[in-house]
Amino acid sequence: MGNERHRELGLTDDQVLQMYRTMLLARKIDERMWLLNRAGKIPFVISCQGQEAIQVGAAFALDREKDWLCPYYRDLGMMLVFGQTARDQMLSAFAKAEDPNSGGRQMPGHYGDARFRIVSGSSPVTTQLLHAVGVALAGKMEKKDFVTLTTFGEGSSNQGDFHEGLNFAGVHNLPVIFMCENNQYAISVPVEKQLAGGSVAARAQGYGMPGVQVDGNDPLQVFEAVKTAADRARRGEGPTLIEATSYRLAPHSSDDDDRTYRKAEEVEDAKKKDSLNQFKNYLYGAGLLDEERENAVNREIAREVDEATEYAEQAAYPDPEQTYTHVYRE
């Protein structure tokens, strides 16, 4: 890894430090949620661990003032880049009234935030791809120059909506980026049993669009691919499919026990490639980080997570009457 790569990509030193910080913040929020879950304080966690580089790298390549997101449930890192805070995450984890995604109506990980043009998502996988295509179609109709990014797992890429979405975007040449976060498992089902042909990116050709495969443990590679795709889209050249491969470091969710279907060694091996370590080393090598600065960042983040947790734990639940509101416009 040359330590000048980020500059070649047009990223400042500050920006890569910010990327690292956001990846770390995402990881730390996620880890805290597991602790809270194991302590019986929150009923559910679904994890971004192992995918922070993808999420942060991608989000940094977009225009946070105008681009749109249709994310999936692991995109904590992306949400932080686009403007959500640790507190927002914890409010959602505790299902409190102030949760900006849903006022506590949805499980954690079901993002949606009108402040940042993050379209509300559901649990059934892959539906959001079509919403992204629709947003992109609207943008094109209105002659705007924003792009729409949507993400999904490699298991989800086998749903019919993937096919219909990519085809629609291809036919109408829409400014949308489809990014698969291939973490090699769909709950217990490994890629080999999930994905005929073994590659999501290879499917792009069937829709006449570029298909790009990148190392999802390297935020700069992801940044570059998304940047290229976004530039292309803004120039009116249409959609791109990106497959960023990493590994799901945690169980599927707090309801899962991943020891039933994968070996501890496999997970340990993957941890050696953890993007957080790799990227930290890169920053050390580039002279942007040293022990002191790292400790400072760690402390800051710990405080941020503590405060967020505390706030959310104290915050009010929605009133039971909220069960009945917002079914239709009131």
**Which residues in this chain contact a second copy in the complex, by CB under 8 A?**
158-164, 166-171, 192-199, 202-209
| Residue 183 binding partner per list another protein, Mg ion, a second copy, none, with a CB distance cut-off of 5 to 8 Å that depends on partner kind | Mg ion
Phi, psi dihedral angles at 217 (to 5 degrees): -90, 0
Residues numbered 124-143 forming contacts with another protein, rule: CB under 8 A: 124-125, 127, 129-139, 141-142
The least distance separating a second copy from the CB of residue 153, rounded to whole angstroms, comes to: 14
194 is a contact residue toward another protein (CB under 8 A): yes
123 is a contact residue toward ligand TPP (CB under 6 A): yes
The sign of the dihedral angle between the CA atoms of 277, 215, 30, 87 is positive
Cβ-contact 207, 168 below 8 angstroms? no
Which of 7-15, 142-150, 164-172, 180-188 is the region at the interface with ligand TPP (rule: CB under 6 A)? 180-188
Cβ-contact 73, 125 below 8 angstroms? no
Could you tell me the two tokens for 250?
């945690």
Residues numbered 149-168 forming contacts with Mg ion, rule: CB under 5 A: 153-155
Alpha helix positions (H), 195-237: 219-234
Which CB atom, from 186 or from 301, has the smaller least distance to ligand TPP? 186
Which CB atom, from 172 or from 252, has the smaller least distance to a second copy? 172
The least distance separating a second copy from the CB of residue 203, rounded to whole angstroms, comes to: 3
List C-alpha distances in Å: 144 to 63, 68, 176, 226, 231.
13, 12, 13, 19, 14
Q: Report the C-alpha gap between 84 and 279 in whole angstroms.
A: 23
126 is a contact residue toward Mg ion (CB under 5 A): no
| Residue 125 binding partner per list a second copy, Mg ion, ligand TPP, none, with a CB distance cut-off of 5 to 8 Å that depends on partner kind | ligand TPP
**Side-by-side strand order, sheet with 68-70:** 68-70, 148-153, 176-182, 240-245, 211-215
**Concatenated DSSP letters for 50-84?**
T-HHHHHHHHHTS-TTT-EEE--TTTHHHHHHHT-
Question: How many residues at the interface with another protein, by CB under 8 A?
Answer: 76
Residues numbered 84-123 forming contacts with another protein, rule: CB under 8 A: 95-97, 99-107, 110, 112-114, 119-120, 122-123
Q: Report the C-alpha gap between 286 and 176 in whole angstroms.
A: 33
The least distance separating a second copy from the CB of residue 144, rounded to whole angstroms, comes to: 22
233 is a contact residue toward ligand TPP (CB under 6 A): no
Which CB atom, from 76 or from 220, has the smaller least distance to ligand TPP? 76
| Residue 30 binding partner per list another protein, a second copy, Mg ion, none, with a CB distance cut-off of 5 to 8 Å that depends on partner kind | none
The set of residues, in sequence order, having a beta carbon less than 8 Å from that of 254 and lying 6+ positions away, is 34, 37, 43, 44, 45, 46
Question: Judging by DSSP bridges, how do beta strands 240-245 and 211-215 pair with one another?
Answer: parallel
Please identify which residue in 21, 199, 234, 261 interacts with another protein, judged by CB under 8 A: 261
CA-wise closest residue to 248 among 28, 51, 25:
51
Phi, psi dihedral angles at 244 (to 5 degrees): -110, 120
| Residue 198 binding partner per list a second copy, another protein, ligand TPP, none, with a CB distance cut-off of 5 to 8 Å that depends on partner kind | a second copy
Which CB atom, from 39 or from 291, has the smaller least distance to another protein? 39
| Residue 226 binding partner per list a second copy, another protein, ligand TPP, none, with a CB distance cut-off of 5 to 8 Å that depends on partner kind | none
Please identify which residue in 79, 125, 200, 209 interacts with ligand TPP, judged by CB under 6 A: 125
Annotate 245-273 with b (16+ C-beta within 10 A) or e (fewer). Answer: bbbbbbbbbbebebeeebeeeebeebeeb
187 is a contact residue toward ligand TPP (CB under 6 A): yes
124 is a contact residue toward ligand TPP (CB under 6 A): yes
